[in-house]
Structures are given as C-alpha cells and as structure tokens.
Amino acid sequence: MTRMRLILPAVCAALLSFAATGTALRAHHSNSAYDTAKTITIKGTVAKWQLMNPHSGLWIEVKTEQGATEVWAGEFTGTLDLYRKFSWNRGTFKPGDQITLIGNPARDGATSLMARKVVFADGKEVDLAGT
C-alpha cells in the first residue's frame, strides 16, 4: 500500500499521452520486460547513473512512508541517442539530485521501469519519445 501511494498511478492525461506514443517509442528495443500499457511516476534521489550501451540506467532512492528506502532502476536508451537528442553525458545526473521519472513498470513487479519522461529538480522536463 505504501508503495502504491508513493508510486503514483498514472493519471488519465498521462496515460493518453503515453498511449499515443508508447508503441512507437524505442521500437528497436524489445519492451517485453515492461508493461507499456501502464505508466507510473517515481520521485526520489539519484543514487547512480550508468550512461552506457545498449541501455543506460538511473538508480533512484525512494523513501517510503515508514522511512525505509526503495531503490528503483530506470532504463534508458544508449549513449548516442541520449547525447544526440539531449546532450546528456556522464555528468547529467549526480548522486543526490532530486528527480522524477515517469515510465512503464516491469512486468515482473521488480522496482524498475522503462523511462519515458524525466523531470529535473528545476522543473525542466525531457520527453524521451523517439529515443
């Protein structure tokens, strides 16, 4: 229940927005590990950023209401697409950064998601559509 409250179920607007583009996103990559019919939102603190191929990873620590810490892994596309589209590099995320990740959850219930949108601490949003 705690997790359910922390991991906000996608609002209709978000669902509609992602449903429109979800199937085309990362068409080169099998999304079979993630449920593209669902969208969740994760807010937390960056623990680690692995910019690499074929997929990059961002680990975020999420505090539960009981004070425990859950670590969520966000999966992104590889280095070249992130660099070419957004000028992201190894310094884009630093431990301690406050980040919101929106994406498709793992089918197996693991604390991981395929990232679709990032909201930085300053409110800047990056839509990962087409990566």
Partner 1 sequence: MPARSALLCCAALLCLASAAAAQTAPRPDFSGIWQKSGGGPGLSPQEPPMSAWGREKFNAARPIHGPRTVSPTESTAAEMKCLPMGVPGVYFRPRAFEIVQLPTRTLMLFEIDHLWREIHMDGRKFPEVPLETWMGYSIGRYEGDTLVVETRHFIGWEENAHRWVDRLGHPFSGELKVTERFRRVNANTLENQITIDDATAYSKPWTATMTYARKEAGFEIGEFVCNELMLSELPFNTLKK
Site of interaction with partner 1 (CB under 8 A): 27-30, 32-33, 48, 50, 52-55, 57, 59, 73, 75, 78-80, 83-84, 106-107, 110, 112
Q: How far is the CB of 59 from partner 1 (least distance, A)?
A: 8
Q: How far is the CB of 75 from partner 1 (least distance, A)?
A: 6
How many residues in total does the chain contain?
131
- Alpha helices of the chain — where are they, by DSSP H? 2-6, 12-22, 79-86
With respect to partner 1, which residue has the nearer C-beta, 17 or 46? 46
In angstroms, the CA 88 to CA 71 distance is: 22
Q: How far is the CB of 11 from partner 1 (least distance, A)?
A: 26
Strands (E) across 1-131 are located at 8-9, 40-50, 55-63, 69-77, 98-105, 112-119, 125-127
With respect to partner 1, which residue has the nearer C-beta, 78 or 120? 78
Q: How far is the CB of 10 from partner 1 (least distance, A)?
A: 21
With respect to partner 1, which residue has the nearer C-beta, 75 or 92? 75
In angstroms, the CA 123 to CA 116 distance is: 16
